[in-house]
Structure 1
Amino acid sequence: MIDVEHAFSKSYAEAREKFLAAANSIGKKVDSRQHPLAGKDGEELAMDIVLDGQADAQNLLIVSSACHGVEGYCGSGVQTYAMHDAEWRNNAKEQGVAVLYIHALNPYGFSHIRRTTHENVDLNRNFQDFNQPLPDNPAYREIESLLLPEEWPPNHNNIAATDQYISNNSVQAFQAAVTRGQYEFEQGLFFGGKAATWSNQTLRQVLRDYAGQAKQIAWIDLHTGLGESGVGERISTCREDKLALARARRWWDGGGTTPVTSIYDGSSTSALLTGLMSNSVYEECPEALYTGIAMEYGTLPPLQMMEALRAEHWLNINPQASKELSARIKKQMMDAFYVDTPDWREQVITQARQSLFQAAQGLKG
């Protein structure tokens, strides 16, 4: 067992080193799928996979991090801690559950402190059938010019117009317009892409390689950025299916103490989204019964989180910005998706462990 503080890291390279060391410490092989680009400090990037359990296990739990790059600073810490957690590993083994850790679904965003992939794509909006017409988001189109102004920080006119939109609609409507996913503005926020990204294609291959034999698949995908600071909201990632949602709630609601929410019934802090990553397990493992959640840890209030995202996207479009402004924006981005305090990290690990034990029991049951 390691202490909580040592599970977390200050950079992608450090996080990857700790994850690989954790796998080595329990005698598990690492399957590394190398990314085509380098990290911000020239380091190798990869999606790293560790299977802890039998390769032919019928019950499989997937635990993944960094779907949204920078959110990997939280998720990687959970994964590293879990592999050092003998009580958790023994419990999973006793329940007949194999655990598939997928570290850094989006290693580029993790390293470069971006939420998006190197294609500027939100990975959790990218799982679409690109041979079909893509979803339209007219609400995003209406405010696109406000979100990424020519200068940063925004001038008075931009701030006033943005505030007016929120006043006329609501914070929730603003959040929904921005975060739902859009497929029109390639440099914009929450862009779902025009084709499957490297991370999308690589994840699908990982599922084919490791999950094809499973009869039941549970998935805990680790996220940050929404909700009350330090609170892990369990958001169902099942399709709009009452039976699947009921199953997720039986597994993870802790007798009502840790409710499972849904984007389909309005109970989640998340807006209704398109192109979700969980589509991949339905498509690549169609014979398996799937039950999943996104574990969404809160950080900052929604408008502060949104401002950090706007600033970081602006910086990506304007790399000529001063070093001082660039550093300030990157710090703002980190603060929006990772709360660098011992109390927050302790909350993250405590709730993650609970969700892991719940998942193993659910799979067994």
Structure 2
Amino acid sequence: EWESITSRDPNIAGYEDFSKELFNTPREPSCWDVYVGFLCRAVYNIAVHGFSNLKRALVSGQYHNPKGIMFGGTQLEPSHVLLRDFLLKHDLTGSSQSYEPVVTWIDLHTGLGPSGVDTMIISKELKEETNRWFTDLPRPVEDFSSGPGSVTAGYDLSKGVMSDFYTQLFQLN
């Protein structure tokens, strides 16, 4: 997956549209920039480009400027390499065909959805099954195909989603 990520258009998610104004300013920020200027530029860019486009540029990150914010790296993080290798070494992915593993991957994030309300975000393929498992959720389960008002809006070009990585690992074996 890394080759496809690092070779895609650097502005595929609009990151470069916001880079010089908001993400990677050409000079060190002054006191004005920190307390007033950034807010003014952010409001202007949201008005011109839309909130979902700014969010997409942020959450999709970028893979071409190691010194820029939201740099996604060039390889799998060491903790995931260790976990992947451990699962494969101890035949915990079901490759022996002697059993079918049941795995639940929970990736916790803050800041998605309304304050004080848990939001469960899952893949579209698992939406019905997840709704059966979690019948008492305070709000509906959302998937990454939800509409523009959704907490998942803007994530359509995100890469490196670990639930996708582990789903693929268990399906390949």
Flag whether TM exceeds 0.5 (same fold).
yes
Show the counterpart of 1:140: 15
Show the counterpart of 1:130: 2
Superposed, 1:90-101 pairs within 5 Å as none
Secondary structure of residue in 1 paired with 2:57:
helix
Superposed, 1:270-349 pairs within 5 Å as 270=152, 271-272=154-155, 273-286=158-171
Show the counterpart of 2:139: 258
Q: Deviations over 1:176-225 (max 9, x none)?
A: 22112321222333322112221231232243347324432222222212
Secondary structure of residue in 1 paired with 2:70:
coil
Cα distance, 1:137 vs. partner?
5.0
Cα distance, 1:245 vs. partner?
2.2
Show the counterpart of 1:124: none
Distance 1:179 1:132, change over 3 A: closer
Show the counterpart of 2:45: 165
Distance 1:275 1:152, change over 3 A: farther
Kindly indicate whether the alpha-carbon contact (under 8 Å) linking 2:5 and 2:63 is maintained by their aligned counterparts in 1. Answer: no
Question: Which structure's residues are more often strand, by fraction?
Answer: 1
- Provide the C-alpha distance between the structure 2 equivalents of 1:177 and 1:143, rounded to a whole number of angstroms: 8
Kindly indicate whether the alpha-carbon contact (under 8 Å) linking 1:182 and 1:191 is maintained by their aligned counterparts in 2. Answer: yes
Match of 1:151 among 23, 29, 48: 29
- Provide the C-alpha distance between the structure 2 equivalents of 1:226 and 1:152, rounded to a whole number of angstroms: 30
Superposed, 1:173-184 pairs within 5 Å as 173-184=53-64
Q: Deviations over 1:61-87 (max 9, x none)?
A: xxxxxxxxxxxxxxxxxxxxxxxxxxx
- Provide the C-alpha distance between the structure 1 equivalents of 2:10 and 2:59, rounded to a whole number of angstroms: 10
TM-score (norm: length of structure 2): 0.73
Aligned-residue sequence identity (percent) comes to 25
Gaps of 5+ in 1: 1-128, 289-365
Secondary structure of residue in 2 paired with 1:196:
coil
TM-score (norm: length of structure 1): 0.38
Q: Aligned partner of 2:105: which letter? A: W
- Provide the C-alpha distance between the structure 2 equivalents of 1:153 and 1:211, rounded to a whole number of angstroms: 53
Q: Aligned partner of 1:250: which letter? A: R
Secondary structure of residue in 1 paired with 2:74:
coil
Secondary structure of residue in 2 paired with 1:187:
coil
Show the counterpart of 1:248: 130
- Provide the C-alpha distance between the structure 1 equivalents of 2:87 and 2:9, rounded to a whole number of angstroms: 29
Secondary structure of residue in 2 paired with 1:190:
coil
2:106 paired with 1:220:
yes
Kindly indicate whether the alpha-carbon contact (under 8 Å) linking 1:137 and 1:181 is maintained by their aligned counterparts in 2. Answer: no
Q: How many residues align?
A: 155
Distance 1:287 1:178, change over 3 A: closer
Show the counterpart of 1:318: none
Kindly indicate whether the alpha-carbon contact (under 8 Å) linking 1:262 and 1:268 is maintained by their aligned counterparts in 2. Answer: no
Output the aligned Cα RMSD. Answer: 2.7
- Provide the C-alpha distance between the structure 1 equivalents of 2:59 and 2:41, rounded to a whole number of angstroms: 19
Q: Deviations over 1:243-281 (max 9, x none)?
A: x22212222242x64311011233741332222111222
Kindly indicate whether the alpha-carbon contact (under 8 Å) linking 2:120 and 2:142 is maintained by their aligned counterparts in 1. Answer: yes
Gaps of 5+ in 2: 95-99
Distance 1:170 1:153, change over 3 A: farther
Show the counterpart of 2:118: 232
Secondary structure of residue in 2 paired with 1:222:
coil
Show the counterpart of 2:97: none
Q: Aligned partner of 2:164: which letter? A: N
Higher relative contact order, chain-length normalized (CA < 8 Å, sep 6+): 2
Distance 1:206 1:259, change over 3 A: farther
Cα distance, 1:230 vs. partner?
1.8
Secondary structure of residue in 1 paired with 2:144:
coil
